[in-house]
Amino acid sequence: MNEKEWIKYLKKYLYEKKPVFKSTNEDCGVIKISKTKYLLLTTDALVENIHFKFDYTSYFDLGAKLAASNLSDIAAMGGEPKWALLTLGSPSPINPYWIDPLMEGLVSTLKKYGAYLIGGDTVKSSTFFINLTLIGETKNPILRKGAIPGDLIFVSKPLGESAAFLRLIKTFNLKEIPQNIKKAHLTPEPEIILGKELSKKKLATSMIDISDGLLLDLWRICEENEVGAELYQEKIPIGKGATFEEALSGGEDYALLFTVSSQNLYEIPKLTKKLKKEIFNIGKIITEKKLFLIDKNQKKEIKPLGFDHFKKGA
């Protein structure tokens, strides 16, 4: 099975009855506690030589990135992060020289966004890995489902810098790589504040975080809503030092990708002014169940390429 087939297979085992509000095809599991309170639950792992290498990753940065990848899932649901559980697997005994900076990176990043570590587990493992489970809350969870034809597509930051890091580290040492590219890959910033604002204003009709690439994650929204999308090539924000292909399908951008009704378009300038950040309108949702890239007067269908753990060569 590839990753898509695995997720489809897993659906038959997932519980989705009250109080579970949503458990399939989302960044978080959603449990309805009351009329105005939903719990958000997510989990993510980083495995040595799959997600990172110690050749270029410090233990502090590793802890920070684990926190950020989980925080980004909470952001994608419009949530407030709260409590976390850590699982650590190591082939060698735990040593203060590496566990101290790892924990400092993890806990300081969680605390920055109002979340705290409350427990976990430790195991001996043939491969070094860390896994975090994060619990959040929201009054209004933003799901992937909700986009309709005519909705506009937005992304919250320039794309492709994280993927550019993996390209550049093959030929340059860490000190030679531009700071913006190092930061994008090693210590990404989750869009918690933007996610909460979109939830509070009930502005986004659907949302996902970009972890596997713009095209693949956009296609997940499209499939959930049985729609398609048009992207405008000149409007896709490409990170400094990244290629257009990396912006389309590189992955690990941890940007928010969301849709907004054309009737609420006037709210976007207000939001950008309040948050003092740029938000990019890159396309629109269409009826035809395909992805199209529009470059000037040319319109061509594109495949939803992105990262798949179980794809050959991934």
CATH number at residue 199: 3.90.650.10
Find the farthest-apart pair of alpha carbons in the chain and give their distance in angstroms, rounded.
60
Task: Examine residue 314 and state whether it is found in any structural domain, yes or no.
Answer: no
Dihedral sign, CA of 169, 172, 173, 177?
negative
Task: Examine residue 86 and state whether it is found in any structural domain, yes or no.
Answer: yes
Q: Which residues pair with 277 in a beta bridge?
A: none
Shared domain check, 286 and 230: yes
What Cα–Cα distance (Å) separates residue 63 from each residue in 57, 102, 173, 207, 232? 10, 5, 22, 26, 36
Shared domain check, 124 and 212: no
Shared domain check, 193 and 106: no
Task: Examine residue 131 and state whether it is found in any structural domain, yes or no.
Answer: yes
Cβ neighbours, 10 Å, residue 251: 21
Shared domain check, 256 and 128: no
pLDDT tens per residue, the chain (314 residues)?
Answer: 877 788 788 888 989 899 999 988 899 999 999 999 999 999 999 999 999 999 999 999 999 999 999 999 999 999 999 999 999 999 999 999 999 999 999 999 999 999 999 999 999 999 999 999 999 999 999 999 999 999 999 999 999 999 999 999 999 999 999 999 999 999 999 999 999 999 999 999 999 999 999 999 999 999 999 999 999 999 999 999 999 999 999 999 999 999 999 999 999 999 999 999 999 999 999 999 999 999 988 999 999 987 655 465 44
The domain in which residue 273 lies consists of: 152-298
Shared domain check, 130 and 83: yes
Of 18, 34, 257, 259, nearest in space to 137 by CA: 34
Model pLDDT, residue 307: 62
Measured distance CA(193)–CA(8) in Å, rounded = 31
CB 137 within 8 A of CB 39: yes
Task: Examine residue 120 and state whether it is found in any structural domain, yes or no.
Answer: yes
Shared domain check, 292 and 164: yes
pTM of the full structure: 0.95
CATH number at residue 24: 3.30.1330.10
Task: Examine residue 118 and state whether it is found in any structural domain, yes or no.
Answer: yes
**Which residues, 6 or more positions from 45, have their beta carbon under 8 angstroms from its beta carbon?**
51, 129, 130, 131, 132
Shared domain check, 18 and 119: yes
Q: Of 91, 110, 138, which closes a domain?
A: 138
SS3 118: strand
Number of structural domains, the chain?
A: 2
Task: Examine residue 117 and state whether it is found in any structural domain, yes or no.
Answer: yes
Shared domain check, 172 and 213: yes
Cβ neighbours, 10 Å, residue 242: 25
Model pLDDT, residue 6: 80
Q: Is 69 exposed, middle or buried (0-12, 13-18, 19+ CB in 10 A)?
A: buried
Q: Of 74, 103, 138, which closes a domain?
A: 138
Cβ neighbours, 10 Å, residue 137: 17
Helix (H) / strand (E) containing 135: strand 129-138
Task: Examine residue 160 and state whether it is found in any structural domain, yes or no.
Answer: yes
Task: Examine residue 96 and state whether it is found in any structural domain, yes or no.
Answer: yes
